[in-house]
Amino acid sequence: MLSEKLMPRFSETDVLGHINNTALPVWFEAARVPIFKIFTPDLDPKQWKLIVAKVEVTFKGELFYGQEVEVKTAIERIGSSSFVILQQAWQHGACCAEGKTVMVRYDFANKSSQPLSEEEKQQLTAFLL
């Protein structure tokens, strides 16, 4: 499982003093960079090979400004042309949010999904739950 620590910014808080729910998808995307590098090692957008098919976030508790958050990232499932990334945001030893993102290997020129290569599957397997 991958792990990345971040410090919530003041601009990510809402009027109630919690981290706004719109911040979590952004944090989760930032923490997916090691997964993105499997497909595009230099992160060159002109060579991008993935699209997001689905994103869902389940909120389990409050997250607060000025207190470190750990985002944990793992692969939940690997299919033939897609895979599911499971991510969690932890603060003070509690899982406060969980997200799932379905990513699809994509050919932008042909506007269609592509099968994952055996090498890509093998690299994803290193992060499999």
Is the pLDDT at 34 greater than 90, yes or no? yes
* Residues above pLDDT 90, as percent of the chain: 95
Q: In CATH terms, is domain 2-125 a member of 3.10.129.10?
A: yes
Task: Answer whether 97's CB lies under 8 Å from 88's CB.
Answer: yes
Task: Answer whether 85's CB lies under 8 Å from 100's CB.
Answer: yes
- Per-residue pLDDT reduced to its tens digit, 45-55: 999 999 999 99
What does the pLDDT read at residue 95?
A: 98
Q: pTM for the whole thing?
A: 0.93
Average pLDDT on 78-100 reads: 98
CA distance 5 to 69: 6
Residue 31's alpha-carbon distances to 16, 37, 101, 112, in angstroms, are 26, 11, 12, 26
- Per-residue pLDDT reduced to its tens digit, 14-26: 888 889 999 999 9
Task: Answer whether 76's CB lies under 8 Å from 82's CB.
Answer: no
Q: Where are the alpha helices (DSSP H) in 19-117?
A: 23-31, 33-39
What does the pLDDT read at residue 15?
A: 84
Helix (H, G, I), strand (E, B), or coil: what is residue 14? coil
The strand pairing partners of 6, in sequence order, are 69
Is the pLDDT at 111 greater than 90, yes or no? yes
Helix (H, G, I), strand (E, B), or coil: what is residue 122? helix
Q: How confident is the model at residue 31 (pLDDT cuts 50, 70, 90)?
A: very high
What does the pLDDT read at residue 14?
A: 86
